[in-house]
Chain A
Amino acid sequence: MPRRPGMATFAILKAIDTGYRHGFDIIDVTGLPGGTVYPALGRLETEGLLQSQWEDPRIAQQEGRPPRRYYEMRPAGKRALDEWVRQLRQLEQLPASSRLKARPGKA
């Protein structure tokens, strides 16, 4: 059953889209706990928004470290992210209420 994606999901998608591709890097940049990020990565992969691959072991060997797993956007993930950004922009452009003073949004 598809769930309504939450803020954490989009933070993770955005992080990967921006170029953070390893689990711990995503944890660092989003500030989310590892207990949230890893299950979310697993779920996004199952749902086909992301895919993961193992780094070429030869490169890792040359650098004297174990190969790392990296995550990449799939087209569906990119579309979901774009849609979310679009909705966010729409929200920003809500006309200010006459009673409440609108706060200027950050660009």
Chain B
Amino acid sequence: MTEPILIRLCRHAIAALSSLAPAWRADDVRREWLAELHARTAGAAGSGLGRVAQLRLLARCCGAIFFVVWSWKHEWSLDMSTVDVRYGLRMLVRRPAFSIIAIATLALGIGATTAIFSAVHGVLLTPLPYPRPDRLVKISGVDARQGNLALGNLSVPDVVDYTRLATSFEALGAHNLGSFVTVTGGAEAERAPYLLVTSGYFRALAAQTSLGRLFVAEEDRPTPPDVVVISDGFWKRRFGGDPQIVGKSILLGGQPSTVIGVLAPGFVHPDPSLDAQPDVFALLDPDPEMSGRGGRYVRALARLSDGVSLQAAEAELKGIAASLEKEYVKSNTGRSIAMRPLAREVTGDVRTPLVVLQAATCAILLIVCVNLANLLLAAGSTRAGELTVRRALGATRTRVMRQLLTESLVLATVGGIGGLAVAWWGTSALSTLTAISALHRGRIAVDATVLLFALGISVIAGLIFGVIPAAQIARGADGALAGATTRHTDGRGARRLRASLVTVEVALSVALLIGAGLLIRSFWYLTHVDPGFRTNQVLSVRIAVPSTRYDDPQRQVFFDRLYSRIRTLAGVQSVGAVNILPLSGGYSCDGFHVLGQVVETGQEPCAEVRSASPSYFETMGIDLVDGRLFTERDDAAAPRVVVVNQALARQFFSNENPVGRRIVYSSRRQNDAREIIGVVRDVRHFGLDREPMPEFYTPQAQPPGYGGIFVVIRYDGDPAPLVPSLRHELRALEPDVPLYGVRTLAELIDQSVADAKVRTQLLGLFAALALVLATLGSYGVISVAVSQRTREMGIRMALGADASHVVRLIVRQGMLPVLAGTVIGLAGAVVLVRALEGMLFNVRPADPVTFTLAPLVIIASGVLAAWLPARRACRVPAADVLR
């Protein structure tokens, strides 16, 4: 009679599950369960088993897994935890010097890796805080004219057309770049972060309110209603969490607006370039007459409809962009769009540096592991006696290996606990960095995932540095058991193993040193770039005059009175003003052309335009190259004039003198010809690493005028007492105009290079750590090798070899793995530095200086590591050794 298939399955289940049990138990388990199964199924009792009974039997046999689990738990609790772990802890205490070094280096390695991981986890791995964030995309404008200055902005009418025509999206919304608005009435006047959006913005992000409602599509109309949505934080701070806030009116820039909703707590604006999260959201005016298609100052994001791929949606929008290009030749020629997942867009600037830093910390941890493996190997030869006795008393080789591995894991766990302390400190330091945007700052912390990560890498590290020595030492104990020599010198295998471990750590350090060297050189160049203006002893403050209260002439009168009041303050040397300060993040890109030069329709160039007061150039130290600067006489009544920068002069007047020529300023609000009266030096507006753009300045007293300006003040001595007097003067003139954004230009420069500084310092620190660890590692290996060869050295010297010969011999042999590691590291670095390409300024990835210096540093430290033990060996009197 053939056996029913279910019973056969029972047998297979028992065989498979019992094989999972601890080896010494597996056979018993299998025999017992098979016998029980047999008793149930064989003979008369078994033949009549129904299908249901057979199934029940199969389920019971599968229950053997619980016994397997129990037996492992029992097994481990029996000797792993109670005996080996306690033994491991005792070994730690018995070798304090080794333990302290091992735990400290492990704590550094695990701590650095965990700290960087907390940032990687918070910024790169945690999904954006919106429902189904994978459906969110960012839509960027693409323009051939802007070249490397890819700002990616769109015009409001274009976005309106995309919203109307596209079918790939659940919602598509736009927001401007954010600004500040003066909130008055009730408490003290305050500048609140302010964002203009279309109704689709909140729909795309699936935002929720805790009170009231969000904007609706019907409100996206020319001259939209004066309604605002406020953030949860602002509602609680400014209005004390007033439950009746919806429907109330607040004063924004002097204009009443009605609060229609309060955002639920935790809403964030997904734009990392903003200094502060917006508190007040109002509606963008989609009127094409108002802003025009040439005024590109909004960014767009959208939520893809279900089942629509990003590629399909992008293709659809590109089609719409192409038809807009045909329809609006003047403004839209060369314009298209690009689409990326929002998550990628949000992390764009920090992704590569974080990945590079994480790789660097992993390399350090690996070097730490290699060093510890070497130390354990060296220690193992002194423990051979103990382990041989254990083997002789009946411990299996697996048992000895397991004990050694447990010791490593105990070490790694203690190191991991130390590492958590390092990581906790490192994480709090990382999250306060200015380089981390407001969007991500709150998300970097040591949480459950980071703890799990620390535990994971501790165990992995313990295995990495434990397995090879454990196997090697256990094998050594075998050899001793078989009656091999008891003298504690290692075989060729062990020596070769240690040498190759040195090669690994040297290779890793060379790669790290080269990476750090490139960043350091790049940072040096960056901080030695001439920004085009003086950075010492200049203070900048921002003020904003409401356009509702002052028309252009009144505002100019107000500004002039303010400047003359400031000039009288103690320590003030000069005062100037501009609408967009260099490195402040603002830009304009307004259209213009040179009168007399032919420009094809739609090909009109754009330039950065600044509105500056006459003494702005003197205060900022922007030198005049040709012609003259503005004076008080260049006012609204005088002929229109401009001052251009050298970049504009070079690009549009290659060999001619631009002074006296005229340009047509054709932005959305201006269309008039203006005479060029002077040429000034270039200023790096967009960052020290960005080439200056063509730029021209208009006098502050001539249109276009701006209510929000930066006032720059050159002062003597300490700027701190100046700020209260400035506030006092401003309040005396006009109590409702806020003063904010107080910074010295030196701070502005520091802030602009903060990202580069942080990553350079971190990678530099990691490389230095790697260098020290690798040098110590090769020193340790050579020391052990030399101490084992002291007899040989003694014989050599007794036979007439001189000390220098012996030193050369040892250094030569010690240097072999170092040189091999250097070559491998250089080869690896050639490939790896490509990742740094985007972070380098004025330095090529294959920089010959760095690629020469880094290996030299490594070789020099390798020579030192070999020379010290070699010298010691020669000092031992030959007679001592031979005795």
How far, in angstroms, from A86 to B67 measured CA to CA in the complex?
31
Q: What 0/1 pattern do residues 56 to 74 of B give for CB contact below 8 A with A?
A: 0000110111110111001
Given A42-B71, A65-B39, residue A35 in contact with residue B31 (CB < 8 A): no
Q: What 5 A-B pairs are tightest by C-beta distance, nearest first?
A: A35-B66, A34-B63, A39-B70, A38-B67, A35-B63
Check B570 for interface membership: any CB of A closer than 8 A. Answer: no
Tell me the B residues contacting A by CB distance below 8 Å.
28, 31-40, 42, 60-61, 63-67, 69-71, 74
A48 to B811, CA, bound (A): 64
Contact A69 B63 (CB under 8 A): no
A78 adjacent to chain B (CB < 8 Å) = no
Residue of A nearest to B36 (CB): A24
A98 at the interface (CB under 8 A from B): no
CB distance from B21 to the nearest CB of A (A): 11
Residue of B nearest to A41 (CB): B67
Chain A interfacial residues counted at CB < 8 A:
19
Segment 30-76 of A: residues with Cβ below 8 Å from B: 33-36, 38-39, 42-43, 46, 60, 65-69
Docked-complex contact B35 and A65, CB < 8 angstroms: yes
On chain A, the residues within 8 Å of B34 by CB distance are 66
Task: Point out the residues of chain B lying under 8 angstroms from A42, CB to CB.
Answer: 67, 70-71, 74
Which of A24, A39, A43, A60 meets B66, CB within 8 Å?
A39
Q: Which residues of B contact A15 (CB under 8 A)?
A: none
- Expressed in whole angstroms, the minimum distance between the Cβ of B580 and any Cβ of chain A is 72
Contacts of A24 in B (CB 8 A): 36-37, 39-40, 60
A56 to chain B, nearest CB (A): 13
Instruction: Considering the complex, give the chain A residue whose CB is closest to the CB of B61.
Output: A34
Please name all residues of chain B whose beta carbon is closer than 8 Å to the beta carbon of A27 when the two chains form the complex. 60
A65 and B42 contacting across the interface, CB-CB below 8 Å: yes
For residue A34, which residues in chain B have a CB less than 8 angstroms away from its CB? 60-61, 63-64, 66-67
Extra contacts besides A65-B38, A68-B35 (19): CB < 8 Å: A22-B39, A23-B36, A24-B37, A24-B39, A27-B60, A33-B60, A34-B66, A35-B65, A35-B67, A36-B66, A38-B66, A38-B67, A38-B70, A39-B66, A42-B70, A67-B35, A68-B32, A68-B36, A69-B35
Q: How far is the CB of A12 from chain B (nearest CB, A)?
A: 14
Closest residue of B by beta carbon distance from A69: B32
Write out the residue numbers on chain A whose beta carbons fall within 8 Å of the beta carbon of B60.
24, 27, 33-34
- Give Cα A64–Cα B95 distance, bound, in whole angstroms: 61
Q: Is A38 touching B64 in the complex (CB atoms < 8 A)?
A: yes
Residues on the A chain within 8 Å of B67, using CB: 34-35, 38-39, 42
How far is B35's CA from A68's CA once the two chains are assembled, in angstroms?
A: 5
Q: How far is the CB of B126 from chain A (nearest CB, A)?
A: 38
B751 to chain A, nearest CB (A): 59
- Please name all residues of chain A whose beta carbon is closer than 8 Å to the beta carbon of B37 when the two chains form the complex: 24
Min distance, Cβ A57 to any Cβ of chain B, angstroms: 11
Bound form: Cα–Cα A33–B60 in Å: 7
6 contacts between A and B (CB under 8 A): A24-B37, A33-B60, A35-B67, A68-B32, A68-B35, A68-B36
Q: Which B residues touch A22, using CB under 8 A?
A: 36, 39
Shortest CB distance A37–B (Å): 9
- In the assembled complex, the Cα of A67 lies from the Cα of B715 at a distance in Å of 101
B38 contacts A66, CB within 8 Å? yes
Q: Chain A residues near B71: list those with CB within 8 A.
A: 39, 42
Known contacts A24-B40, A42-B74, A46-B74; is A66 also within 8 Å of B63 by CB? no
B32, closest chain A residue (CB): A69
Residue of B nearest to A27 (CB): B60
Instruction: Give the nearest-CB partner of B33 in chain A.
Output: A23
* A39–B74 CA distance with the chains assembled, in angstroms: 10
**Given A65-B39, A65-B42, A68-B39, does the pair A23, B32 have CB atoms closer than 8 Å?**
yes
Cα distance A65–B66 in the bound complex, in angstroms: 26
Q: How many angstroms between the C-alpha atoms of A24 and B28 in the bound complex?
A: 15
Residues in A whose Cβ lies below 8 Å from that of B40: 24
Q: Which has the most chain B C-beta neighbours within 10 Å: A33, A35, A60?
A: A35
Least Cβ distance of B576 to chain A in Å? 79
Q: Are A69 and B31 in contact (CB under 8 A)?
A: yes
- Bound form: Cα–Cα A67–B28 in Å: 11
In the complex, chain B residues whose CB is within 8 Å of the CB of A60: 35
Q: How far is the CA of A47 from the CA of B789 in the complex (A)?
A: 55
Which residues of chain A are near B38, meaning CB under 8 Å?
65-66
Q: Tell me whether B63 and A38 are in contact (CB under 8 A).
A: yes
| Chain A residues, Cβ within 8 Å of B33 | 23
Q: Beta-carbon contacts of A1-40 to B below 8 Å, as 1s and 0s?
A: 0000000000000000000001110010000011110110
CA distance A23 to B63 in the complex (A): 12
Note all chain A residues with C-beta closer than 8 A to B65: 35
- What is the bound-complex CA distance between A69 and B27, given in angstroms? 13
Give chain B nearest CB distance to A90 CB in angstroms.
32
Task: State A85–B289 Cα separation when bound (angstroms).
Answer: 94
- Taking CB as reference atom, which chain A residue is nearest B70? A39
Q: Which residue of A lies closest to B77 (CB)?
A: A1
B43 to A, closest residue via Cβ: A65
Q: Which residues of A contact B69 (CB under 8 A)?
A: 39
Write the chain B residue with the least CB distance to A33: B63
Q: Which residue of A lies closest to B42 (CB)?
A: A65
| Min distance, Cβ B31 to any Cβ of chain A, angstroms | 7
- Nearest-Cβ distance from residue B289 to partner chain A, whole angstroms: 77
Nearest Cβ distance between residue A65 and chain B, in whole angstroms?
5
A63 to chain B, nearest CB (A): 9
Query: Is the pair A66, B64 in contact by a Cβ cutoff of 8 Å?
Result: no
| CA of A35 to CA of B68, assembled, Å | 10
| Closest chain B residue, CB of each to CB of A35 | B66
Looking at the assembled complex, report how far the CB atom of A86 sits from the nearest CB atom of chain B, in whole angstroms. Answer: 29
Taking CB atoms, residues of chain B closer than 8 Å to A68 are 32, 35-36, 39
What A residues does B39 contact at CB under 8 A?
22, 24, 65, 68
Docked Cα-Cα span, A42 to B61, in Å, equals 17
* CA gap between A43 and B74 in the complex, in Å: 9
CB distance from B423 to the nearest CB of A (A): 33
How far apart are the CA atoms of A34 and B37 in the complex, in Å? 13
CA of A36 to CA of B69, assembled, Å:
12
CA distance A24 to B63 in the complex (A): 12
> What is the CA–CA distance of A33 and B74 in the complex, to the nearest angstrom?
20
Looking at A22, A34, A43, A65, which has the most chain B CB atoms within 10 Å of its CB? A34
Q: Compute how far the CA of A36 lies from the CA of B38 in the bound complex, rounded to whole angstroms.
A: 21
Residue of A at shortest CB range from B71? A42
Which residues of chain B are near A69, meaning CB under 8 Å? Answer: 28, 31-32, 35
With A and B bound together, what is the CA distance between A24 and B61 in angstroms?
10
Query: How many Å lie between the Cα of A68 and that of B28 in the bound state?
Result: 10
A24 to B46, CA, bound (A): 14
Q: Which partner residue on chain B sits nearest A55 by CB separation?
A: B35
Whose C-beta in chain B lies nearest to the C-beta of A52?
A: B32
Residues on B with beta carbons closer than 8 Å to the beta carbon of A66: 31, 34-35, 38
Q: How far is the CA of A24 from the CA of B32 in the complex (A)?
A: 10
Residues of A within 8 A of B31 (CB): 66-67, 69
A42 to B69, CA, bound (A): 12
Q: State the Cβ distance, A41 to closest chain B Cβ, in Å.
A: 9
> What is the distance, in angstroms, from A84's C-beta to the closest C-beta of chain B?
23
Complex Cα–Cα for A3 and B70 (A): 15
Q: How far is the CA of A69 from the CA of B30 in the complex (A)?
A: 11
Residue of B nearest to A38 (CB): B67
> Which residues of the other chain, A, contact B28 by a CB distance below 8 angstroms?
69
Q: In the assembled complex, which residues on chain A have CB atoms less than 8 Å from the CB atom of B36?
A: 22-24, 68
Q: Which residues of B contact A33 (CB under 8 A)?
A: 60, 63
Q: How far is the CA of A27 from the CA of B39 in the complex (A)?
A: 14
Complex CA distance for A27 and B32, rounded to whole angstroms: 14
A35 nearest CB across to chain B (Å): 3
**How long is the Cα–Cα vector from A43 to B789 in the complex, in angstroms?**
55
Cα distance, A24 to B74, chains bound together (Å): 22
Assembled-state Cα–Cα distance A33/B59 (Å): 10
Inter-chain CA distance A27–B63, complex, in Å, is: 11
B29 nearest in chain A by CB position: A38
Give CA–CA (A87, B97) in the complex, Å: 58
Write out the residue numbers on chain A whose beta carbons fall within 8 Å of the beta carbon of B66.
Answer: 34-36, 38-39
Bound-state CA distance A43–B816 (Å) is 57
Q: Which of B40, B67, B69 has the most CB of A within 10 A?
A: B67
Chain B's nearest CB lies how many Å from the CB of A75? 23
